[in-house]
Structure 1
Amino acid sequence: MNKTQHYVLGKWITGTGEGIPSFDAVTGEFIASTTVEGLDIPAILHYGRTKGGEKLRKMTFQERGNMIKSLAMYLTKRKEQFYEISYRTGATRVDSWIDIEGGFGNLFANASLRKLFPNQPFHVEGDPIDLSKGGRFMAHHILVPKKGVAIHINAFNFPIWGMLEKCAVNWMAGMPAVVLPAPVTAYLTEAVVQEIIASNILPEGALQLISGTTKNIFDTVESQDVITFTGSAATGRLLKAHPRIIQESVPFTMEADSLNASILGEDAVPGTPEFDLFINQAKSEITVKCGQKCTAIRRMIVPEKLMDDVQIALGKSLDKVTIGDPRLKEVRMGALVSKAQADVLKNRVNELSKTASIVYGDFDTLNIIGANEKGAFVSPIVLREDKPFQNLSVHETEAFGPVSTIMPYKNLDEAIELAQMGKGSLVSSIVTNSDEIAKEYVVNAASHHGRILVLNRENARQSTGHGSPLPLLVHGGPGRAGGGEEMGGIRGIKHYMQRCAIQGSPTTLTEITGIYQPNSAYKEITRHPFQYHWEDIQPGMSLKTHKRTVTDTDIINFANLTWDHFYAHTDITSLDGSIFEKRTAHGYFILAAAAGLFVYPNKGPVAANYGLEECRFLRPIYHNDTIYVRLTCKQKIERDVASAEHPSGIVKWFVE
């Protein structure tokens, strides 16, 4: 019997026993069975923490990012082989693109974040905090990689994206991963992991694959581990309550299927672009991935006067959807992942139809192109619930497939209340051309949603759509949606790191963080800092310049040059009653004069001035005042340029 394989402890193995069979969603043909019997789970987790973790934690952010970028490029070159396997899950080319290239895109997006981190294994967060009046005792926060393993339990609907959107983040943070895909589509995840391991791009132990679910995965988790779960809210709650997770205080992020709502604004009447956008988006969310998306629209909340218009327009749009073999170009909707999932879907629709009416589609009549009833094909189903405040099933029961329900609202307050009755969602959207309506909805509905899309004619062409989570935005939601948070750019990476407040003297914290802290001891140098090459510069290196006295002539000439004739610079007869005592030098003259003092005139390693930051004019400089400059290296930021001939980067200078 063909079995999916596991990659654990540095080798490919198969489990013992018969396992759970998976079938081609289109033909019903047997593909493989998945069994986890015989796996040494404690050893697998320990292997990740040590073999993979020790290597990843020593790598800098730039090294990790470039590693992930290389992996993304490697997989992209081999993408076509994954499309052929993905068709067997019932996914069309478009559906598979979301899963395959969307997953690779997550790698690219997270790899690019390396430029926002230092070229070191840990990250310094925020600004320094002065804990004393004299500035001799201070604090700064740093983040270091957790010394555990990330355990990812993924759902069946995105076997590639679901793995890579999580792993890209934990790898950037410096943590290894153990991935557990759902058995029914584990064969597709396995195919990608086969290529990842063959690439030799990741350090050994950075990725292990357990093809299926195992009941004892949590029995030996430790406090430094991180667990993520994607799936049903009911299953997630059971897992989250595992005694070992509670005992060890293991972070647990749950991203659960939710009853996401899309609202049609009262202004979006038939004939407006927004009405058409609502209908097109609804059709897409019902049919893409055969409705098997945790972010799909389950509830369409529309003005009561437009209920019939929406029902008719959506029905006409769905009539154009062709169903069948996802390999065929003319097919627009494939199959559910399995016959078993189709049975579950029918039961859920039956529950909803006890109060709501089915106004489009049925489970008995279906025109299938290029396939037959052996596949897990179903029709799109639209229900209508005219009493959504009385009949609560529509806010509690999710049919995970091409199913959505239309319901009415009288005013925007009712629409907001209905959206909130889902008790927490991953995403909501509102389609309106009224910014006033949009603001009212967003401000009042945001408490119950992880993301809100405002869709209108202006952004329609560029919009990524209701159901598309993006790597740089948080993915998750409160309440029923799990109360967790994935991705989110830098925010997501920090979930796999430990934040620690470091207290000490400015000099000590300069050495720890690699960032010069004000009041730290200077490292006096004899040569001008602009004469040093990149590799010789260190934070704290400092030069005190010679002095210059500001004259009346300097100020007047600068005023004539810039046309800045502010009275304090040019009219000393107007100073009475002002905060100024004498003729005052322009702030920008002080900067220019400071540059003249600290710039090294001869040709040297310095290429260009990148710009000024943290420039503040705290007190006036008057004519006849004498100034000097102290120039101290604050921080070095390496340039991540593969083609660079010599080490280089940006040097931030602390200028006093």
Structure 2
Amino acid sequence: TPEFDAYVRQLLTELTSKAGQKCTAIRRAIVPTGRVNEVVEALRGRIAERVVLGDPRAEGVTMGPLVSRAQREEVVRSVEELVAAGGEVLLGGVDQPDVVHADGSVAPAPDGAFLSPVVLGFADPQTPAVHDVEAFGPVVSVLGYDSLAQAADLVTRGGGSLVTSVATHDPATAVELLTRIGAYNGRVLFLSRDNARTSTGHGAPVPHLVHGGPGRAGGGEELGGIRAVLHHMQRTAVQGSPDVLTALTGRWHSGAATGDDGTHPFRKSLAELRLGDRIASAEREVTLDDIETFAHFTGDTFYAHMDEESAAANPFFPGRVAHGYLLVSWAAGLFVDPDPGPVLANYGLENLRFVTPVSPGDRIRVELTAKQITPRETDPYGEVRWDAVIRNGRDEVVATYDVLTLVAKTRDELRADRTPVPETAAVAP
């Protein structure tokens, strides 16, 4: 199956990459008992086909030596300890292998630290040594299991791992195994035919994923991105009025002061715009004809908009109501300044919530407030997040959401020969 092939590829990669000298290298390959021999033979074929041991300077070499002869001796001692505990060498061995030298010749290198990939098998997969002894080199033990419960038990016997990879195309199997083994791993990678070729792989965590694990894996974690920085900072709760919180956080908070100096906020560049700058629109009445026109034009003929009796039977509606997206579209028309200016594009909205239904005859208006201003370091424009609130004629909140726009930093950036062009597609506001 594709999952079998992905499994074997991962085994080979982790067995030979850096000669198996990685903290994430696979030390225990846990496979269905009836497929142990199949996995071993597949590995045998791939090793014979793809692994060329030797001096990395020689053409065609795919696997180099261990870091030192002392390390080779340590790995050999670990392999001998595993064999003494009941392990059987199925592939490879600890004798000096033939290697490709820098001049292209092939012969043993007794003064080097070369070791062939070693695959061990255990008649009893619960043998303590196979879970306790780590041969930090190109060594893996293949263990058979007869049920998912036993497979999970074998994983947990390791006492904590950085990562476990599971090759399966069955979501139910993935759910069961994660439930059983998740607490014993810093990361669990599920491989299937859908993601095997694009996955970062067993031993390659991406920067923003947790890298670390419980127990023998160290009990800690390494982090990428801002999370790593935050772990070295003190988290402090701050209380205050909306105005104080706005000043402290650089983000406008509901209830803080707003400003309207007579200039539409869309006519202001980032240099001129201030948190709290607001436009309060005029009202617009919603008619039944508007609702029906929008329904037929868009194809959204959901009964709450078209069937008075059915809508009234719904516990959330008093009768036929306007489409939420009709109201959001109208709101854009109510707050927009249509002429060319500092606002270059509207690239989306977030956190949309419809709170109060709007019936035919209701009137709506919108308040748009500059909520967050984020200049881009390397671009002549920045991002502005606007707090949008739609209200009805009774001053009830109809909908809330954030509007996201790209705005020129200064008016100089609007000259024809310097008009910034966003990399992402956007719709004019």
State which of 90, 108, 116 in structure 2 corresponds to 1:359. 90
- Indicate the residue corresponding to 1:528 in structure 2: 264
CA distance in 2 between counterparts of 1:570 and 1:314 reads 64
Q: Tell me if structure 1 keeps the 8 A contact 2:270–2:375.
A: no
- The two structures have a TM-score, normalised by structure 2, of 0.80
- 1:498-513 residue pairs with structure 2 within 5 A? 498-513=234-249
SS of the equivalent of 2:237 reads strand
CA distance in 1 between counterparts of 2:221 and 2:89 reads 35
CA distance in 2 between counterparts of 1:283 and 1:576 reads 64
1:302 maps to 2:31: yes
- In the TM superposition, residue 481 of structure 1 has moved relative to its aligned partner by 0.3
- 1:450-529 residue pairs with structure 2 within 5 A? 450-529=186-265
CA distance in 1 between counterparts of 2:309 and 2:141 reads 76
Q: Tell me if structure 2 keeps the 8 A contact 1:361–1:382.
A: yes
CA distance in 2 between counterparts of 1:415 and 1:568 reads 52
State which of 50, 54, 57 in structure 2 corresponds to 1:327. 57
CA distance in 1 between counterparts of 2:123 and 2:309 reads 77
**CA spacing shift, 1:586–1:291, aligned 2, 3 Å:** closer
Q: Which amino acid aligns with 1:652?
A: R
- 1:51-90 residue pairs with structure 2 within 5 A? none
CA distance in 2 between counterparts of 1:576 and 1:323 reads 77
CA distance in 2 between counterparts of 1:292 and 1:573 reads 71
SS of the equivalent of 2:213 reads coil
CA distance in 2 between counterparts of 1:306 and 1:569 reads 59
- In the TM superposition, residue 441 of structure 1 has moved relative to its aligned partner by 2.0
- In the TM superposition, residue 433 of structure 1 has moved relative to its aligned partner by 3.8
Q: Tell me if structure 1 keeps the 8 A contact 2:96–2:110.
A: no
Q: Which amino acid aligns with 2:117?
A: P
1:655 maps to 2:388: yes
1:598 maps to 2:342: no
Q: Tell me if structure 1 keeps the 8 A contact 2:257–2:276.
A: yes
**CA spacing shift, 1:376–1:570, aligned 2, 3 Å:** closer
- Indicate the residue corresponding to 2:130 in structure 1: 394
- In the TM superposition, residue 384 of structure 1 has moved relative to its aligned partner by 1.7
State which of 10, 35, 44 in structure 2 corresponds to 1:281. 10
**CA spacing shift, 1:568–1:404, aligned 2, 3 Å:** closer
Q: Which amino acid aligns with 1:361?
A: G
- In the TM superposition, residue 327 of structure 1 has moved relative to its aligned partner by 1.0
CA distance in 1 between counterparts of 2:62 and 2:35 reads 27
SS of the equivalent of 2:384 reads strand
SS of the equivalent of 2:186 reads coil
CA distance in 2 between counterparts of 1:591 and 1:381 reads 64
- Indicate the residue corresponding to 1:548 in structure 2: 284
Instruction: Return the structure number with greater relative CO, CA threshold 8 A, min gap 6.
Output: 1
**CA spacing shift, 1:533–1:385, aligned 2, 3 Å:** same
CA distance in 1 between counterparts of 2:178 and 2:348 reads 37
504-513 vs 614-623, greater mean Cα deviation: 614-623
Q: Which amino acid aligns with 1:369?
A: V
- In the TM superposition, residue 291 of structure 1 has moved relative to its aligned partner by 0.8
**CA spacing shift, 1:415–1:551, aligned 2, 3 Å:** closer
- Indicate the residue corresponding to 2:422 in structure 1: none
Q: Which amino acid aligns with 1:287?
A: T
CA distance in 2 between counterparts of 1:575 and 1:382 reads 68
SS of the equivalent of 1:595 reads helix
CA distance in 1 between counterparts of 2:130 and 2:20 reads 16
Q: Tell me if structure 1 keeps the 8 A contact 2:370–2:384.
A: yes
CA distance in 1 between counterparts of 2:194 and 2:295 reads 45
Q: Tell me if structure 2 keeps the 8 A contact 1:274–1:432.
A: yes
Q: Which amino acid aligns with 2:73?
A: D
561-570 vs 484-493, greater mean Cα deviation: 561-570
CA distance in 1 between counterparts of 2:122 and 2:309 reads 78
Greater helix content:
1
Q: Tell me if structure 1 keeps the 8 A contact 2:243–2:253.
A: yes
- In the TM superposition, residue 566 of structure 1 has moved relative to its aligned partner by 4.6
SS of the equivalent of 1:500 reads coil
CA distance in 1 between counterparts of 2:319 and 2:12 reads 72
- Indicate the residue corresponding to 2:359 in structure 1: 622
Q: Tell me if structure 1 keeps the 8 A contact 2:164–2:188.
A: yes
What is the aligned-residue identity percentage?
Answer: 46
- In the TM superposition, residue 577 of structure 1 has moved relative to its aligned partner by 4.5
State which of 387, 396, 411 in structure 1 corresponds to 2:147. 411
1:314 maps to 2:50: no
CA distance in 2 between counterparts of 1:348 and 1:493 reads 38
**CA spacing shift, 1:412–1:584, aligned 2, 3 Å:** closer
Query: Which 5+ residue runs of structure 2 have no aligned equivalent?
Result: 103-108, 390-429
- In the TM superposition, residue 563 of structure 1 has moved relative to its aligned partner by 4.5
Query: Which 5+ residue runs of structure 1 have no aligned equivalent?
Result: 1-271
SS of the equivalent of 1:415 reads helix
- 1:202-213 residue pairs with structure 2 within 5 A? none
Q: Tell me if structure 2 keeps the 8 A contact 1:474–1:487.
A: yes
CA distance in 1 between counterparts of 2:31 and 2:112 reads 34
- In the TM superposition, residue 597 of structure 1 has moved relative to its aligned partner by 2.1
**CA spacing shift, 1:312–1:563, aligned 2, 3 Å:** closer
Q: Tell me if structure 1 keeps the 8 A contact 2:288–2:360.
A: yes
RMSD: 2.5
Report the number of matched residues.
Answer: 380
Q: Tell me if structure 1 keeps the 8 A contact 2:305–2:311.
A: no
User: 1:61-92 CA distances to partner (integer Å, 9 max, x unpaired)?
Assistant: xxxxxxxxxxxxxxxxxxxxxxxxxxxxxxxx
**CA spacing shift, 1:628–1:330, aligned 2, 3 Å:** closer
Query: Larger C-alpha radius of gyration, 1 or 2?
Result: 2
